[in-house]
Chains A and B, each alone.
Chain A
């Protein structure tokens, strides 16, 4: 059993400028506790929402169905599930039911009768799946809608921002959303923002053969969750500005900034990078931030299973000479550079897809230059700069859809402390 501290925080530098505004970065590490034997896993309430539009026909729909069969095999009578299929019409194949052996057998029989046809009304399929989950919301469990698609949403609601708004409203009411995009034709921005706002995960499924791996790992994760709705709260002085540069949703409340980390599985690690902006101040004066964790199950609360004591960081106002000579924390620098590189890549994917090749290259070049500015002799930082330079070449010409999706998924996972397959990580 590991004895890693639950919450750690490190700053890139500890001095701030007296006569100018300063920006400093903080790397916050969160580690979820291991699963315990005395405490049962949380029950899950899942809706499987499958695209049955024409493009899914053949191998894809067959594998999706087989995977759902298999996923159901991991549930038991304390869980619930439902199955929804959609094209331009939405069909509830199995209404929300406890996952008894009989219900699972019936579901499999019904599912086997589904064929692919029609166009893609993703939003209605998703809403109907969420409705099934919501109609039997399990207060003490994990309530989640898993949406699989291989195409562009071309019916119903299709605006990513609007769908994300609904996802965030549903999340606040206890229903989270995970998305799976299969092949080259779906919209990764839409599925990513749906999952981010929805408190779930986005998976890029390269080909039909890996549908099984991704759905199985997501269902496995829901069965392994130890803390739900984990939030990191950062308290700073009023005039100090705190923002997360990692992609987790964040909001500001008075002197507090709250970053939503979602549901964490046993022993999951997650890194959050904060940018802290200080006003000028008197030489010698100190200022600081306090970072704490909360969650719906009280796991991280003082006295909880993983009772996390708050992390405190302090900075001291100093003159320019002292500021220029201060040491830097190389690990924090690396985390910051990784985040900015990931952001730049996602932006470059968007621009390349839109046909703006010059801008796609510029965004990578500019980020590379900025990192070079503080890379010094740090080999890992120089490596990132080198990667961004060579990617600039690639992105300055039209790229195949699959390559863009690969690039998006790789950087999205890096930014969210997830592995190359989109799975949660248990080691840093």
Chain B
């Protein structure tokens, strides 16, 4: 019986198979190896075998090229990344999770807009862009993509003030800025309960 994926955990690809899976020509693969963008497969010639690490790296390179990044810059950026990160980035459907400084909170704050206290760094790329999630090596911080990606779509911003509004029927509202110091909060709670007694009485 044939299990084509018998070594499911570590599939080995020939040059032609790897090129096919990544949607490039074998020549491109060899070129990337010679340029240091891909690790060498170990053995050379027709017996050379590649693995998923090569495949993910290749797919990520293709993606970055689609974002108009020059090869030299791609090489620099890839150099600082481990396999897990590369896999995460290469996978379009899964947003990167393993990248420092991009927690759920960072993500939400980016969508909601920066807090007033800390002005945001100028954004060269749209917030969701792949480029944003790949740290630029210190040496390359000044190099921007040669072709500017489309302008970021304006994300909605909402008010940062934490005002609580309490309505007492259709015509009266009390506005309270939270959080309040504890003693004050207690007094306000009493106020609210008295106000409710006074103002929300059933008119009948």
Q: Is A131 an interface residue (CB 8 A)?
A: yes
Which of the candidate stretches A205-213, A281-289, A390-398 sits at the interface with the other chain? Answer: A281-289
| Contact of A91 with B164 in the complex, beta carbons under 8 Å | yes
- Name A143's closest neighbour in chain B (CB-CB): B104
Shortest distance in angstroms between A295's beta carbon and chain B's nearest beta carbon?
15
Instruction: Using known A-B contacts A127-B112, A165-B128, determine if residue A89 contacts B165 with beta carbons closer than 8 Å.
Output: yes
- B113-171 residues with Cβ-Cβ distance < 8 A to A are 128, 156, 158-159, 162-167
Chain B residues close to A by CB (< 8 Å) = 1-5, 8, 11, 17, 20-21, 52, 55, 87, 91-97, 102-105, 107-109, 111-112, 128, 156, 158-159, 162-167, 178-179, 189, 192, 196
Per the bound structure, the CA–CA distance linking A156 and B158 in Å amounts to: 9
Per the bound structure, the CA–CA distance linking A172 and B102 in Å amounts to: 11
Partner pick for A235 among B8, B21, B92, CB 8 A cutoff: B8
Q: Is A354 an interface residue (CB 8 A)?
A: no
Instruction: Using known A-B contacts A124-B156, A127-B111, A287-B2, determine if residue A137 contacts B105 with beta carbons closer than 8 Å.
Output: yes
Shortest distance in angstroms between B108's beta carbon and chain A's nearest beta carbon?
5
Which chain A residues lie closer than 8 Å to B11 at the CB level?
254-255
Which chain B residues lie closer than 8 Å to A89 at the CB level?
159, 163, 165
Per the bound structure, the CA–CA distance linking A157 and B107 in Å amounts to: 16
| Contact of A290 with B5 in the complex, beta carbons under 8 Å | yes
Per the bound structure, the CA–CA distance linking A114 and B196 in Å amounts to: 12
Task: Among B2, B163, B192, find the residue whose CB has the most chain A CB atoms closer than 10 A.
Answer: B2
Q: List 26 A-B contacts (CB under 8 A).
A: A89-B165, A95-B162, A109-B189, A115-B166, A124-B158, A127-B111, A128-B112, A130-B104, A133-B104, A134-B105, A166-B111, A168-B95, A169-B95, A170-B108, A172-B96, A173-B104, A174-B104, A235-B5, A235-B8, A237-B4, A238-B20, A251-B92, A254-B11, A286-B2, A287-B2, A287-B4
Shortest distance in angstroms between A280's beta carbon and chain B's nearest beta carbon?
15
- Name B1's closest neighbour in chain A (CB-CB): A286
Interface string of A170-204 (1 = CB under 8 A from B): 10111100000000000000000000000000000
The A/B interface has a contact count, at CB < 8 Å, of 114
| Total chain A interface residues with beta-carbon distance under 8 A | 50
Which chain A residues lie closer than 8 Å to B196 at the CB level?
113
Which chain B residues lie closer than 8 Å to A109 at the CB level?
189
- Name B90's closest neighbour in chain A (CB-CB): A253
Q: Is A92 an interface residue (CB 8 A)?
A: yes
Shortest distance in angstroms between A96's beta carbon and chain B's nearest beta carbon?
11
| Contact of B156 with A157 in the complex, beta carbons under 8 Å | yes
Per the bound structure, the CA–CA distance linking A2 and B115 in Å amounts to: 52
Which chain A residues lie closer than 8 Å to B95 at the CB level?
168-169, 172-173
Instruction: Using known A-B contacts A134-B108, A165-B128, A285-B2, determine if residue A172 contacts B165 with beta carbons closer than 8 Å.
Output: no
| Contact of B178 with A92 in the complex, beta carbons under 8 Å | yes
Per the bound structure, the CA–CA distance linking A178 and B95 in Å amounts to: 20
Shortest distance in angstroms between B35's beta carbon and chain A's nearest beta carbon?
23
Q: Is A110 an interface residue (CB 8 A)?
A: yes
| Contact of A123 with B156 in the complex, beta carbons under 8 Å | yes
Shortest distance in angstroms between B139's beta carbon and chain A's nearest beta carbon?
29
| Contact of A236 with B179 in the complex, beta carbons under 8 Å | no
